[in-house]
Every structure is written in C-alpha cells, then in structure tokens.
Amino acid sequence: MEQSPRIRIDPASGVPAVRQIADGLRVLLVEGQLIPGTDLPSVRRVAMELGVHFNTVAEAYRQLASEGWLDLKHGRGAVVVERTVPAVRNGAWVEDFRNRLRGLVAQTRAQGIPADGIAAELRAMAKVVKR
C-alpha cells in the first residue's frame, strides 16, 4: 500500500514551526506528491499530530494559499489547486537563490556536517530538479 505524504517538523531545530510546516508542504507540492484536488487534513488534526497551536498550522496554510498552492474554502478545509507558475522577468533570482543556498551550506557546515556530504546531497538534489 502506498504511504500517504507526510510532513515533519523538528521542535529542537530553532526554525519556527510555521516555517517548517509551510516549507514541508511546499516541498510536497513542488515534487508533485500533493496533486491538485487533494484535500489536506484539518488544521486541528495537523496541529495535534505536530504538537503545535491551531493558529500555527492555519498560518502555514494561509501562507501557501497566498502563494497560490491552496484554496481555503470555509467549511471544506484546504484543497490543493492548480497553480500558475509566475513568470520570471530577469535573472535577479540567481543572486537571491545563491545567497540563500550559501547561507544554508554555511549553516550546515557549522553544525559539523562534512563538506563532501553536503556536495553529494547538492548533486543528488540537482538530479531531482532536472527531472
């Protein structure tokens, strides 16, 4: 039996829970594990499972709705919708993306993760992105 998609948060990571939830959901949406038409579980259920406040999950859902991933219909919960990919006007994103990636790599190395391991992960990630 195929396993349902899951999101995971680490309360000890120092990253705010709302960001971890929104990021985790966005990964599943981008990778196509959550397809348009999928009903997401209620805010209450996700909040209970993750041990966070209802508002934290509601805020993450709202954030993704504002990005065009979800439709939040009152009484029906959150539904994944078809999203129009925004047009990119220039190459400004490269600088921004590079800075964020460098920051993440630096943070990971500071935690003691070897550079070889990080490089291998980035190569694997590049393959996934190309697909």
Partner 1 sequence: MRWVLCAVYLFMGALLFALPNMTRRELLFAVPVPRDFRESRAGRHAISVFRAVIACVVLAGVCAVLLSPVELLGAISLAVPAVLLLAGGITFYRQNRKLAPSAVQFSRPREAELTAGPEELPQFAWLAAGPFLVLAAAARFLYVNWDRIPARFAVHFNASGQPDRWVERTTKGVYGPLVFAAELSAWFAVMALAGWFGSRRSRSRTVMLGGMIAIEYLMGFLFALIAVQPLLGIPVWMIAVSPIAVLAPLIIVMIRKMSEPSEPMDPTPNECWKAGILYYNPNDAVLFVEKRDGYGYTLNFSNPWSWALLSSLALVIASARWVIA
31 binding partner 1? (CB under 8 A):
no
16 binding partner 1? (CB under 8 A):
no
Q: How far apart are CA 122 and CA 102, in angstroms?
A: 12
Tell me the closest approach of the beta carbon of residue 89 to partner 1, in angstroms.
33
Q: How far apart are CA 120 and CA 131, in angstroms?
A: 17
Among 15, 27, 30, 48, binds partner 1 (CB under 8 A): 48
| Only segment of 45-53, 84-92, 98-106, 118-126 that touches partner 1 (CB under 8 A) | 45-53
Tell me the closest approach of the beta carbon of residue 130 to partner 1, in angstroms.
26
Of 59, 54, 85, nearest in space to 72 by CA: 59
> Residue 77 CB: number of other CB atoms within 10 A?
17
99 binding partner 1? (CB under 8 A):
no
CB 43 within 8 A of CB 60: no
